Structure 1
């Protein structure tokens, strides 16, 4: 039985995806490391450092199925070195003439950091795909509910009316910016690591720069301007982006978590027959998805905090930094990717109760429309004087449990400037939406234009 939730038979569906789990599986990781070792040998052969036939033999034998993994583990523990156990076991299966050319002049981070770059490349593809789906679902809700009136809320309390489409458009716009950040950042973190002992590449002499270029081309990664043994900003940026993505998804989950409380009842997440909310209170239907999105977000943000700490590296190599990343990067990838998957399910199956949204606006007795009344009165007495007058009237009106119009007309100062007819013109919910529908159209239109441009470019 696994001790990790990521691999738990019972719970792993909540903490990762099979797609990412396969990518990060230890056997898959070791094979990736072996592939990088083989690519390095081929690049070294290309520039005349390693004999061509030995590079070919290394490629042919760089197969994890040929190695005794228990012996790899034993050698790793015995040497106290991260990759020497793997190297020794690879040497054992190689013909003797190729053994001395394995890992020629390279160091641990040349292999493991280059692997990280390939992981970030693969995860970036996944994040882009799923962010696109999330944005599409948010855009669909925005367009569908462009004019669905609901209470806007500030500090947890009802404010002016907005539309649910406006709320969803805010989500979509934020998700779009994460896609932009992802696209802009990939050029920085999808780069090889090849520096040798201290990053100077001195071991390879005059062949160093041609080797760097050949290695990068074969790995389908970019060439860094300088080896990044202690420059951990690439990993930190990537994990921080994952934290931002998961934070947005967590924010959406938190909003839906709150709005589906029965006393609000404006939305509810998709419900699956047979799912039990409580074994002691059978009536309960818990917000399982939206709640879990907040949990996942908290954990990824914690990973990002550690990744940022890793930037503080000492001298030219510091295991305290890059070994911490061995924990936080895989965790952040798993947690973010499952958050995106669950977020897509949440928005795709979200039930929007437009009737309850309208009811909650009406149930406020018109007080959510105090701002339009303030604007109207301000034209007669000035904004700040009007604010005080309406404040006094609304505080008294809410204590007396009367409507907004009744409260305003009961104040002689307000009544001196505004009639019931005047107030009726501004206390209709549709009149207080401002540019909410327009902003929905802008977000939906901009997204459509961007996607058409991408399609034309392709």
Structure 2
């Protein structure tokens, strides 16, 4: 039963995608844990630690849909041990000799950290797929609007001209770096864990190294090379990268949120005839997708901070660190993964209004270009003061009127100086979407 509003049937779609939910919901998690135990038993049988028949029986009966979930919960509560309920529920389904060899020499962290390796691999792949989808759309938008002039804004105020293609190219460029981070980091965090009691694999002596390698191979995870029970940088790095991804998507969302305000009207989210913006103000069209990207980013950042806290752990095992990850890692993954999916949908349906962009330039859009030209005649600082005085003396007039006594060349205010912006857009588009 859902205990949070974000898990309810009515609202869950805003906080997770079906693919992300499948990774974390109990049936899939339990099956993943059982798959890990199957891989461990198979590897142990291969090096001769347990009978091959036992490994075969474990593989045959380790089915989450046949597990007594109530018994798992009851035994976990009764014993106070994180995985003893799972072990005992599985033992009830296993014949001899398998019941004595399931979970043979393993610890809670061997199971849950290996599951984290699978989670980080699979969530990372989902996020990368959605970011690639968004990135490809942004490149098309950037190319289409390479020369679509709009106001560049600083401190929330209209400044000098840019192009919408240039703005979109900055979004694509940033997402490209996140795609590189996810691809490069995956090899570090998609690893298994087989450490034993204190990390030295004493229970499996002298077969520990070979056993860990075979175990990880069966799960298609990398061998970490060294036990990482108290070394939590992998999890912290994964959370940090996802929080960066969510931050960029929130930046994009905030731009769309601001620019679709009716008084600006330069962008619009894809229209939907069924969406109700307000039950008291029927004329409203709320920025649902772009607004929610900021909400998700806040959650991702907050929970990524908890994962970073886990790096400060004690000795060879510290439950304070990694048990907090059980709560925080799913929340980071769900928030950032959902944001990636929503952002891809948002930019795919984005409606651009070039006429409004041009109209919103304002009457003094050419001041930077004029300053550059006057600087060649008078020097930069004299020209700056000249412009400042002229514009202050005529606060309501356009640039030409304010500078009519200063020999203003008409060509300076004819077309915006955005050729270099176009060249930068071309470079980003030519780079393409990373694989």
Is the CA contact 1:91–1:99 (under 8 Å) kept in the aligned structure 2? yes
Helix, strand or coil at the partner of 1:158: strand
Is the CA contact 2:190–2:221 (under 8 Å) kept in the aligned structure 1? yes
**Structure 2 CA distance for aligned equivalents of residues 225 and 354 of structure 1:** 56
1:426 corresponds to:
412
2:372 corresponds to:
375
Range with greater deviation from structure 2 (352-361 or 94-103): 94-103
Is the CA contact 1:150–1:358 (under 8 Å) kept in the aligned structure 2? yes
**Structure 2 CA distance for aligned equivalents of residues 31 and 239 of structure 1:** 24
Is the CA contact 1:161–1:429 (under 8 Å) kept in the aligned structure 2? no
Q: If the length of structure 1 is used for normalisation, what is the TM-score? A: 0.93
Is the CA contact 2:254–2:294 (under 8 Å) kept in the aligned structure 1? yes
RMSD: 1.3
Helix, strand or coil at the partner of 2:159: strand
Helix, strand or coil at the partner of 2:58: helix
2:172 corresponds to:
172
Unmatched segments (≥5 aa) in structure 1: none
Is the CA contact 2:120–2:189 (under 8 Å) kept in the aligned structure 1? yes
TM-superposed CA distance for 1:3, in Å, is: 2.1
**Structure 2 CA distance for aligned equivalents of residues 341 and 6 of structure 1:** 17
- Which 4+ stretches in 1 moved above 6 angstroms? none
Helix, strand or coil at the partner of 1:373: helix
Q: If the length of structure 2 is used for normalisation, what is the TM-score? A: 0.98
2:385 corresponds to:
388
2:420 corresponds to:
435
Matched, 1:446 2:434: no
Is the CA contact 2:236–2:304 (under 8 Å) kept in the aligned structure 1? yes
**Structure 2 CA distance for aligned equivalents of residues 282 and 126 of structure 1:** 37
TM-superposed CA distance for 1:354, in Å, is: 0.3
| 1:82-130 residue CA offsets vs partner (Å, 9 max, x unmatched) | 1011011111221132222111111001011101101111111111111
TM-superposed CA distance for 1:2, in Å, is: 2.1
Aligned residue pairs total 435
Is the CA contact 1:397–1:404 (under 8 Å) kept in the aligned structure 2? no
More helix by share: 1
5 Å-filtered alignment, 1:235-246, equals 235-246=235-246
2:132 corresponds to:
132
**Structure 2 CA distance for aligned equivalents of residues 304 and 264 of structure 1:** 35
**Structure 2 CA distance for aligned equivalents of residues 281 and 71 of structure 1:** 52
TM-superposed CA distance for 1:6, in Å, is: 4.0
Is the CA contact 2:54–2:96 (under 8 Å) kept in the aligned structure 1? no
The structure whose RCO (Cα within 8 Å, separation 6+) is larger is: 2
5 Å-filtered alignment, 1:1-20, equals 2-20=2-20
1:309 corresponds to:
309
2:223 corresponds to:
223
Helix, strand or coil at the partner of 2:5: coil
**Structure 2 CA distance for aligned equivalents of residues 294 and 175 of structure 1:** 16
**Structure 1 CA distance for aligned equivalents of residues 257 and 223 of structure 2:** 45
**Structure 1 CA distance for aligned equivalents of residues 257 and 430 of structure 2:** 29
